[in-house]
Chains A and B, each alone.
Chain A
Amino acid sequence: MQAHPVINDFVVRFANVNGTGSASANNMFAKAIFRMGIPVTPKNIFPSNIQGLPTWYEVRVCEKGYLGRREGIDIMVCVNAQTMKNDIAMLPSGSYFIYDSTKALHREHMREDLHYLGIPLTAITQREYSDPRQRLLFKNIIYIGAMTALIQLDMDILKKIIVEQFQGKEKLIAPNHQALELGNRYARDHFECPLRFRLEPRDLLGDKILFEGNAACALGAIYGGATVAAWYPITPSTSVVDAFGEYAEQFRIDRETGKNHYAILQAEDELAALGVVIGAMWNGARAFTATSGPGLSLMQEFLGLAYFAEVPAVLIDVQRAGPSTGMPTRTQQSDLLSAAYASHGDTKHVLLFPSTPAECFDMTRMAFDLAEQLQTPVMVMSDLDLGMNDHLSEPLQIKAETKFHRGKVLTAQQLENIERFGRYFDIDGDGICYRTLPGTHPTRGMYFTRGSSKDEYASYTERADAYRRNMDRLAKKWETIKTYVPPPETYQPNNCSRDGMAFFGTSCHSAIEARDELNNAGLTLDVLRIRAFPFHAEVVDFMDAHDRIFIVEQNRDGQMRSLLINELGIDPQRLVSILNYDGLPITAQNILQQVLTSAGHQAVTSASMPGVSS
């Protein structure tokens, strides 16, 4: 007997072998759902490998618009014999298992409580195609085609995506279309379609886009005026610079001369990458680097120099699971402490926490303004989940007549009117001094940039009072910075609970979903999304306004909680860690269970949330 249908609310997971062309087919699947106007969240779960190891692609469809990962799988499409056993074992009762039935399933793979749908993918491709590469590739297209019958994925939309994808290679369109039809026909002929889980078109997405964070950061760098990019390859940040290069080729080549209005340098390591950025920004060009944890570790000494010598720098840290090499293709938010306090001595750095591609774009652009205005490094703390997966996002926007805010840089004319230039005088009382660029004026404004102690004229000094004055001014500048960084996002017009929950970056969607579920379970929480370090005054207000605050983060040690305690002097008893650090994006169920457990509530039953397996 068929249970009642579930519309636009399920998870499909594809199990593939890395390097077999499944990625583009799976992307097409998500894109088609997006174009059907239904909220969709695809996530790659991929190995640190180029070819041969297992890879998964998980797509959550959620009419209600929750975009976090959800636990529990409703439909598994398994085209990887290596992982079949585990893929089957992990399925909740009642889910569908779609597999290549060219060979019969082994008895040990049979479970009474699953629906098995075998499609002889290999046999079909053997029959239809002669080229071995095509046989491999079209397997993927065939199972996507089957989805048009099984879950009512829109065939016309898929076909249109293929037409767009193969512009310039039109010959490939027809065979791809044919493969879709093969899958559709096989499913219609052999199964009762549609399945219980199915799609219905909606119009829920407005002008939203489906985009990945790394490319959005790259565009942010383009629109932020970056002309120099220096980097050393590391997953998951590599595609930031790759995308920057592609956009630069599109937008930054002088039409007349054919010359580049940008320079991209693959450095010998991350030390050099940041050194190049510092040298370029010292000299007045906007520059950035992109890296991940291991690279950030190597950049520590230079970050201290830039902090102390007050040289702007922009760094995009696409975080991955550490420590050390950790799990290089899994996500985490675990570089917070090493970024916030990077380098020896008393140092503190500005961090921005984007949570959507649109925010990757905005914050990367903003990072250049902030770095130059504040004369200090600014780090955009993205992560693998945000950077390398497609996300539903507001469109990218920029104001007409956008101007770069270059900060306090003196012109030759201004130097003419100054009796004696002193690089480190706090003229305005905000801790931010005036700087000059090399080559500005023939006889005025020269100074010596150094990482050693100096007086207001930038002259070397070991005088205790001068050193202290400088350190105190830097502390004052830190206070000023709090007024420059973006305020947190609040989600309720007024606080209405003694309990709060704070989160940042990619924990955002799951945290909001958990908040709603907790509300249903009778626990009301005010919530706040932290968008920057140092903490804005509104973050302080929120912490003050609540007795107990759950701090949601994707690392083991509660690094954001430590920062809050350390910077704001909050009683540690009041901050409760809600953690996820297995390398997979955090889920609402996980947050919900942890909050309820720590709040002393009974764990909710799986009935109240789909996909929670007991």
Chain B
Amino acid sequence: MSFIKPNFRHPGLLPNALGFLPSDYEGLLSTLCAGCGHDSIGAAIIQACFELNIEPHRLAKLSGIGCSSKTPAYFLGNSHGFNSVHGRMPSVATGANLANRDLIYLGVSGDGDTASIGMGQFVHLVRRNLNMTYIVMNNGCYGLTKGQDSATADKGSKSKSGNVNVFQNIDLAGLAIELGAGFVARSFSGDKTQLVPLIQAALSHPGFALIDVISPCVTFNNNPGSTKSYDYVRQHIDATATVDFVPPAEAIEVNYADGEELDVTMHDGSQLRMKKLHPGWNPYQKDAAVRALHEASATGEVLTGLIYVNEVQEDLHAMLNTCDKPLNQLTERELLPTIQSLEAINASLR
């Protein structure tokens, strides 16, 4: 349920505050299978950016390789994009962000791209707290190579061919919390009401923000016995809270009288307004967040919503003490030492 009524009735028709139409945030026609969860996430990204009034050219979208990593072609067609190599989007995003700290960086990856081949880059990205939003389109399998189990497939989950996964799964949300991520959420591609505000909050978070989105692969992993199928997720979803995103201009003080409502104020003054559904969950406490994840996983539930948040962390630029002006805008004037300096160096080498 939503607290905030959108200030427009027909999102398809009215422009946002910047004068952009929703179509200005769309991309090419998707070539994914009909019903693929990834397309719903793409649609949520479009809506989130439209509503957040993001200037499309101020955002850069990056991805690795996989069906999921193809999606940046299908949203934000007015933004620069970079479809890199399998599992290596984190490093490319790191370089891009170091070059220009003023843009918004949105990374899209798959569970194979992140939790297997890209695991090394992913964990280091988290610990560097790069200011970006990182969305994993998590279908528990390798869609693009025809359905092999991925490392996020739950132990005991059955694939389309009837094989049961015998390996322990990797929980990317839990891992990210462990590594110090300041914004960790999980969602479901079929739950746009929850996903859109989470994306908006993640984009507003001034550091690394992970959203692990369960996104069923209708072609290879939507069968009975799979824990990443539409049916399974719908039946086992357990939200931490209902979520609404309140942009900065509209944010208001609320009271916590009944202890069930919780506002998370983002860096830019916007708020995530939540109504607690999961007892014991507290997004400000690492232990409680991790415990909630463990409990849900033990009972086969899929815990969604904001799981952990910590707004007071230095991002990579702060840690490296880089200048406020984007590095890619520095010119000869700032970058070139004088000829005299070179003469002095020569003199010191004689």
A-side residues, CB < 8 A to B, are 34-35, 207-211, 219, 222-223, 225, 227-228, 230, 250-252, 254, 257-265, 267-269, 271-285, 287, 301-302, 305, 395-398, 400, 402-404, 436-443, 446-452, 459-460
Contacts and interface: CB of A to CB of B under 8 A. Distances in A.
Contact of B93 (A254, A264, A279, A441): A279
Given A284-B100, A285-B98, A398-B342, A438 B80 contact: yes
Contact of B73 (A223, A442, A460): A460
Nearest to A257: B323
B91 A267 contact: yes
Interface stretch (B39-47, B270-278, B299-307, B330-338): B330-338
B320 A283 contact: no
Given A279-B82, A396-B345, A439-B58, A260 B321 contact: yes
A447 B80 contact: yes
Contacts of A277: 95
A439 B345 contact: no
B81 interface: yes
B28 interface: yes
A268 B125 CA distance: 10
A520 to B, nearest CB: 33
A284 B342 contact: no
Interface in B46-96: 55-58, 60, 62, 72-73, 77-85, 88, 90-96
Nearest to B84: A305
A396 B320 CA distance: 30
Contact of B98 (A35, A265, A272, A450): A265
A326 to B, nearest CB: 24
Given A251-B341, A268-B124, A448-B73, 12 more contacts: A250-B337, A251-B337, A261-B330, A264-B320, A268-B120, A272-B91, A279-B92, A282-B96, A441-B57, A447-B81, A451-B83, A452-B83
Nearest to B62: A279
Contacts of B56: 442, 446
The 7 closest A-B pairs by CB, nearest first: A279-B95, A275-B91, A285-B99, A438-B80, A280-B95, A284-B328, A283-B99
B99 A279 contact: yes
Given A260-B321, A282-B92, A443 B99 contact: no
B5 interface: no
A459 B81 contact: no
Given A260-B321, A260-B323, A446-B78, A279 B96 contact: yes
A459 B332 CA distance: 35
Contact of B57 (A207, A260, A278, A446): A446
Contact of B83 (A207, A280, A284, A450): A450
A609 to B, nearest CB: 31
B163 interface: no
A159 B83 CA distance: 60
Contacts of A447: 80-81
B9 to A, nearest CB: 26
Nearest to B63: A450
A458 to B, nearest CB: 9
Size bracket, chain B contacts:
35 or more
B99 A261 contact: no
B342 A278 contact: no
Contact of A396 (B62, B335, B346): B346
A598 B83 CA distance: 53
A227 B335 contact: yes
Contact of A261 (B28, B92, B334): B334
Contacts of A251: 337, 341
Contact of A275 (B88, B102, B349): B88
Nearest to B341: A251
A259 B321 contact: yes
A282 B61 CA distance: 13
A210 B124 CA distance: 40
A261 B327 contact: yes
B85 A302 contact: yes
A195 to B, nearest CB: 28
A279 B336 contact: no
Contacts of B320: 260, 263-265
Interface string B289-329: 00000000000000000000000000001001111101110
B335 A219 contact: no
Q: Taking each of B60, B73, B324, which has the highest tally of chain A beta carbons within 10 Å of its own beta carbon?
A: B60
A438 B103 contact: yes
A261 B91 CA distance: 20
A448 B82 CA distance: 6
Contact of A437 (B324, B328, B334): B328
A438 B57 contact: yes
A438 B120 contact: no
Q: Taking each of A34, A262, A439, which has the highest tally of chain B beta carbons within 10 Å of its own beta carbon?
A: A439
A398 B72 contact: no
24 contacts: A209-B350, A210-B349, A211-B349, A225-B335, A225-B336, A257-B323, A260-B321, A272-B124, A276-B98, A279-B92, A279-B97, A279-B99, A280-B327, A283-B99, A285-B95, A395-B346, A437-B80, A438-B80, A439-B102, A442-B56, A442-B57, A443-B57, A446-B77, A460-B73
B120 to A, nearest CB: 6
Q: Taking each of A208, A252, A301, A446, which has the highest tally of chain B beta carbons within 10 Å of its own beta carbon?
A: A446
Contacts of A398: 339, 342
A301 B322 CA distance: 29
A510 to B, nearest CB: 23
Given A227-B327, A285-B100, A439-B103, A275 B124 contact: no
Q: Taking each of A207, A257, A282, A396, which has the highest tally of chain B beta carbons within 10 Å of its own beta carbon?
A: A282
B70 to A, nearest CB: 8
A449 B69 CA distance: 13
Contacts of B72: 448
Contact of B323 (A261, A274, A441): A261
Given A225-B336, A261-B327, A439-B58, A272 B88 contact: yes
A273 B124 CA distance: 12
A404 B342 CA distance: 17
Contacts of B88: 271-272, 275, 301-302
Given A209-B346, A261-B323, A287 B81 contact: no
A402 B57 contact: no
B16 interface: no
Contacts of B94: 230, 265, 272, 275-276, 279
Contacts of A275: 84, 88, 90-92, 94-95, 121
Q: Taking each of A223, A264, A273, A459, which has the highest tally of chain B beta carbons within 10 Å of its own beta carbon?
A: A223
Contacts of B339: 398, 400
B236 to A, nearest CB: 35
Contacts of B323: 254, 257, 259-261
Q: Taking each of A34, A219, A262, A279, which has the highest tally of chain B beta carbons within 10 Å of its own beta carbon?
A: A279
Contacts of A276: 91-92, 94-95, 98
